[in-house]
Structure 1
Amino acid sequence: MNRPSLAIVVAMAQNRTIGINNTLPWRCPEDLKHFKALTMGHHLIMGRKTFDSIGKALPGRTTVVVTRNTTWSAEGCIAAHSLQQAIDACNGDNSAFIVGGAELYAQALPLVETLFITEIDQIVDGDAYFPSFSRTEWIETERRSSAQETPQPLHYDFVTYRRKPTN
């Protein structure tokens, strides 16, 4: 079977914060809609702590949870015990999305072709961070700016990066 195209979906602050206390450090309804539109009908690969923070398999998508616990299971989810095993579980899908957390992002970054990053235009306290990456390895192909006043004031950009071809 063919391996799916791999992408990362993440929202991060200027200082690369992606979470605090196993939750998002902001409330941005448009980002959640963006996430849903990107991932609907595809496989989501997430770590067990990310799954725990969501609390259930997301409707309309196949949830693959990477965990070291060989007895872990959850209704509607596929358990995988490595990133590679999770990717293998996505065979038959043309796209699979790595959706967190920080450790899985770090493992997946060298493997993905696309980054869908919601860049939050502020510095945010947190305890989970997106790994640093060289922007010279990526081409920005799309940027859409937005802002909200409620539930909290935020300025953010939906940005798509594609990996530059290697020669």
Structure 2
Amino acid sequence: MITMIAAAAENKALGKDNQLVWHLPNDFKRFKNLTTAHYIIMGRKTFESFPKPLPNRTHVIITRQSDYQAEGCIVVDSIEKAIEKCPKNEESFIIGGGEIYKLAMPYADKIELTVVHHSFEADAFFPEIKPEEWKLINSDFQSKDEKHLYDYSFETYIRK
């Protein structure tokens, strides 16, 4: 199963200058809980935005750079090759960025989306979730608090 996991604002903003534009600790916890012990597929820029590889996950990096290397990671040049590297009988996660989400949308079986209830200036965006293709099966609203500056919702979609 291929699952796209992302946090996007109401205007579909993912981030700016290869960084998130909000800080939601509960979203980080959810991301960690869902992706630990799984394959995670990402673009090179997303990988390079991490201080180090994420622990207890197998990283599959998509890049057009033919000589790109990342120690302990699988490097490929297409979304199709990235998916081929993942175990077929396990859930694997697409974790970004914007271009990779667009490329992965036709292959995804599920979307785990954190909707940040605000709009932000951004240069990377999550693709449209077309209602004729996807069914919302869960939505869990969370109010802002001392650790979260914005209201947000955890949403789960499955392909129809």
**TM-score of Structure 1 vs Structure 2, range by shorter chain:** over 0.9
Tell me which of 82, 86, 106 is aligned to 1:86.
Answer: 82
TM-score calculated relative to the size of structure 2:
0.95
AA aligned to 1:125 is E
Q: Which residue of structure 1 aligns with residue 67 of structure 2?
A: 71
**Runs of 5+ unmatched residues, structure 1:** none
Query: Are the equivalent residues in 2 in contact too, given 1:42–1:93 (CA < 8 A)?
Result: no
- Structure 1 residue 148, shift from structure 2 partner: 3.1
- Structure 1 residue 41, shift from structure 2 partner: 0.7
Runs of 4+ more than 4 Å apart:
none
Cα root mean square deviation, aligned: 1.2
Aligned partners of 1:40 and 1:6: how far apart in 2? 15
| Secondary structure class of the residue paired with 2:17 | coil
Tell me which of 139, 142, 151 is aligned to 1:143.
Answer: 139
Which region of structure 1 is more displaced relative to structure 2, 116-125 or 91-100?
91-100
- Structure 1 residue 152, shift from structure 2 partner: 4.8
**Runs of 5+ unmatched residues, structure 2:** none
**2:11 is the alignment partner of 1:15:** yes
TM-score calculated relative to the size of structure 1:
0.91
- Structure 1 residue 93, shift from structure 2 partner: 5.2
**2:53 is the alignment partner of 1:57:** yes
Give the aligned length. 160
The percent identity for this pair of structures is 38
Aligned partners of 1:150 and 1:70: how far apart in 2? 45
**2:149 is the alignment partner of 1:153:** yes
Query: Are the equivalent residues in 1 in contact too, given 2:3–2:109 (CA < 8 A)?
Result: yes
Which region of structure 1 is more displaced relative to structure 2, 48-57 or 36-45?
48-57
